[in-house]
């Protein structure tokens, strides 16, 4: 079990849940994020460092001084449409930033667990296994695929965890899709949700469990780490509304093409979890219903 674990993107939803679990297990997490201040001090006492991962010298200097046992790299530019319109920035963060982290891990002998995405696939023939050939159709997907390549080339002890449709609840972080949906429906507002995007919704709490199991195992290579349901966005939204006892008739069914988004989305996607379940039989992989029930409890509904 790795004790001193540096979590990049520690102010985000996944970073917060990962730090929370590390603390609960009696470990010593270190948080690093672009923001000057820590937002999740409510979790407990842990070191925090402001870090721009696109600054190779800063990354090298921080890891050299901290000497972490392992790094969980959650920091990324994940706004899919913004990646399409801000290509240089998204490449600097997702590709160059990851290469900087990977190289620094190699120099200090730290194990690296890098977070990737199902958006490396085109969404024409999902759900996808780890060995399926990637074909990104958005700039975000392309940069994440290139980030995987950077990890393989720049680090000696690494694993890659692919995930998607992350949601959950934590103070001081950007509301996830489910929180947004529940808020709208509670106010009696109608929402439009696509029914032609199929994926694997993943609760951040459950993902953190999977990440730490993969980190500690020492296993290398690529693992899918998502929820145990493959479902379209509209059906997922209706399930959430039903579990929260809200009016699901307010959820209008639409097609992705009607949104006119800058970045194309993989439609028939989702990730197969056979490999993870085989190698980690004691780690829970929650269905969409199980995750939503947990989230409902966390939200006090």
Question: Which residues belong to the active site?
Answer: 140
Phi-psi domain of 221 (left: phi exceeds 0; alpha: psi -120 through 50; beta: other): left
108, with CB counted inside 10 A (0-12, 13-18, 19+), is: middle
Alpha-carbon span 89 to 160, nearest angstrom: 22
| N-term to C-term CA, the chain | 36
The sign of the torsion formed by the CA atoms of 262, 183, 166, 229 equals negative
Token pair 């790795």: residue: 2
Work out the widest C-alpha separation in the chain, in whole angstroms.
Answer: 55
């Amino acid at each position: 079990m790795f004790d001193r674990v540096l979590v990049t993107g520690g102010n985000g939803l996944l970073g917060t849940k990962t730090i929370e679990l590390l603390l609960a297990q009696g470990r010593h997490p270190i948080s690093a994020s672009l923001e000057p201040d820590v937002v999740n001090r409510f979790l407990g006492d842990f070191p925090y460092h402001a870090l721009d991962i696109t600054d190779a010298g800063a990354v090298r200097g921080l890891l050299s001084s901290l000497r972490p046992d392992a790094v969980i790299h959650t920091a990324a530019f994940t706004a899919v449409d913004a990646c399409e319109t801000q290509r240089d920035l998204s490449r600097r963060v997702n590709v160059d930033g990851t290469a900087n982290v990977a190289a620094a891990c190699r120099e200090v002998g730290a194990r690296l667990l890098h977070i990737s995405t199902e958006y490396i696939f085109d969404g024409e023939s999902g759900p996808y296994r780890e060995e399926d050939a990637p074909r990104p159709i958005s700039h975000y997907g392309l940069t994440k695929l290139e980030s995987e390549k950077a990890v393989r080339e720049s680090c000696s002890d690494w694993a890659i965890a692919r995930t998607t449709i992350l949601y959950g609840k934590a103070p001081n972080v950007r509301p996830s899709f489910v929180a947004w949906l529940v808020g709208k429906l509670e106010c009696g507002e109608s929402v439009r949700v696509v029914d032609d995007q199929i994926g694997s919704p993943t609760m951040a709490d459950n993902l953190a469990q999977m990440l730490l199991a993969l980190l500690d195992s020492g296993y290398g290579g690529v693992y899918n780490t998502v929820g145990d349901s493959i479902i379209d966005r509209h059906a997922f939204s209706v399930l959430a509304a039903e579990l929260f006892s809200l009016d699901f008739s307010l959820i209008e069914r639409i097609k992705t093409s009607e949104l006119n988004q800058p970045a194309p989305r993989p439609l028939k996607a989702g990730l197969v979890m056979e490999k993870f379940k085989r190698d980690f039989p004691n780690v829970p992989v929650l269905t969409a219903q199980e995750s939503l029930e947990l989230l409902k409890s966390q939200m006090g509904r």
